Amino acid sequence: MNEQIIKRVERALAELKAGKLIIVADSVDREAEGDVIGLAEKVSAKNVNQMVTKARGLLCVPMGAEVAKRLNLGLMIPDSSDAFGTAFTTTLDAKTTSTGISAFDRADTIHQLANGTSTWDDFYHPGHIFPLIARKNGIYERQGHTEAAVDLARLAGASPVAYICEILKKNGKMARRKDLKAIAEGNHLTLLTIDEIIAYRRYRDAQPIQSITTVSLPTRYGDFTLEAFDTGDDSEPTLLISKGHLAGDEPLLTRLHSECLTGDILGSKRCDCGPQLQEALRRIQRNGRGAVLYLRQEGRGIGLANKLKAYALQEQGLDTVQANQHLGLPIDNRNYEIAAAILKRKGVSKVRLMTNNPDKIHQLAEYGIQTTERVSLEVGLTPENKNYLLTKKTKLNHLLSEVGN
């Protein structure tokens, strides 16, 4: 974990807890915009006024789903067509306000939303404040400002409610990444990116990896050893499927394989996942030594339900990247820190990596595992997945020579 990121995020958390504002920028692959963010329980009329006069976007209040449930706040429109899946609820004002629109009234409403004893009856409906509901797993699930703000509130040990406002430039256009640094410096605000918050959450959430059990695994591809690891996140165990002695100076033939129920189990032709897993096992069997890390990151990390929703959008003409973006989900939310930790535990520091995805090589390097050779794994090309693979090549930079341009 980069020490500078840790210090930057912890400085921002300290400022939030002190009642100050910060700026958070999202990915250039998403909106490439910045929001001013504060903790709802630390809100002040001065900060609200600074938001609406300096940032000039729409003032909203992101909150954890449990808060929205307590307040009986439902979605403004059940079947929203918002391009990024922002979960707006019905609007409101605290009943202690007058018109509800002044900076003082809005600060009052925001503060009461962070009050753990407030209920639906404490507010007028509709009103001038726009609550937003964050996804359950925060920025792991959706890399938006809603989730980033609530995650920061949780990391700060505060009520999971924040207030945010998009930043517009003086000419009325959105402030993009290149503008945000100057705006942050000019207003003496700390600037974070959502990627930095994700990295910090992974650093904070990291749990000691525990081996659950080890068994023999005879398969149609060969005889292997299967070891299950508890990674401390209440999900299904990460699996190590291996053959031979893993530790040593000789690089280990390795595959990092993200779970794909439709491809691995059902034999779907929409992807190349199943054939890649099968071929990796065959090669390890022939080599006499190697490992597959089977990672529970269905749908490039968005989960099975969201993957199937993305499939439905692909049937309407979107490609795999556009479908994720339409759902407000990250294009690729996978992380290979757990894989690197398991390899290190097994005494592996160098690998010959079976992959077409250069991001796996880069991430392993960040976590201290050297890839001495990339072993191409171009298998499973079908008429049904040709466009899918082409999108991975052109938009996700996968190294696929057998797919056209």
Residue 266 and residue 214 share a domain: yes
Kindly report the CATH number assigned to the domain that includes residue 129: 3.90.870.10
The predicted pLDDT at position 78 comes to: 77
User: In this structure, is residue 324 part of a structural domain?
Assistant: no
Judge whether residue 235 has pLDDT over 80.
no
Residue at which a domain ends, from 171, 204, 237: 204
User: In this structure, is residue 304 part of a structural domain?
Assistant: no
Q: Which residues are annotated as a binding site for GTP?
A: 255-259, 276, 298-300, 320, 355, 360
Strands of 22-25's sheet, edge to edge? 92-94, 123-133, 56-63, 162-167, 34-39, 22-25, 191-193
Greater confidence (69 vs 77) lies with: 69
Judge whether residue 233 has pLDDT over 80.
no
The predicted pLDDT at position 177 comes to: 82
61 and 129 Cβ atoms separated by less than 8 Å:
yes
Mean predicted lDDT score pLDDT of the chain: 92
The token pair at 328 is 């407000």
Residues 6+ apart with CB under 8 A from 264: 273, 274, 277
Residue 225 and residue 177 share a domain: no
> What confidence tens digit (pLDDT) does each residue in 183-232 have?
999 999 999 999 999 988 888 876 678 899 999 999 999 999 999 998 76
pLDDT band of residue 330 (cuts 50, 70, 90) is confident
The predicted pLDDT at position 203 comes to: 80
Residue at which a domain ends, from 204, 235, 262: 204
The predicted pLDDT at position 296 comes to: 93
Q: Which residues are annotated as a binding site for Zn(2+)?
A: 260, 271, 273
Residue 38 and residue 169 share a domain: yes
> What confidence tens digit (pLDDT) does each residue in 236-258 have?
899 999 999 999 889 999 999 99
Residue at which a domain ends, from 204, 224, 241: 204
The predicted pLDDT at position 328 comes to: 82
Answer whether the bond into residue 126 is a cis peptide, omega within 30°: yes
Number of domains composing the chain: 2
> What confidence tens digit (pLDDT) does each residue in 279-288 have?
999 999 999 9
Verify whether residue 179 is a known catalytic residue: no
The predicted pLDDT at position 231 comes to: 77
Catalytic residue among 26, 151, 272, 332: 332
Residue 58 and residue 169 share a domain: yes
Catalytic residue among 106, 142, 270, 334: 334
Residue 254 and residue 148 share a domain: no
Residue 146 and residue 247 share a domain: no
CA distance 371 to 255: 11
346 and 246 Cβ atoms separated by less than 8 Å:
yes
Residue 255 and residue 213 share a domain: yes
Q: Which residues are annotated as a binding site?
A: 255-260, 271, 273, 276, 298-300, 320, 355, 360
Judge whether residue 375 has pLDDT over 80.
yes
Residue 229 and residue 81 share a domain: no
**Residue-range definition of the domain harbouring residue 235:** 209-297+334-396
Verify whether residue 334 is a known catalytic residue: yes
The predicted pLDDT at position 29 comes to: 62
The residue-averaged pLDDT of 17-30 equals: 86
pLDDT band of residue 1 (cuts 50, 70, 90) is low
Judge whether residue 289 has pLDDT over 80.
yes
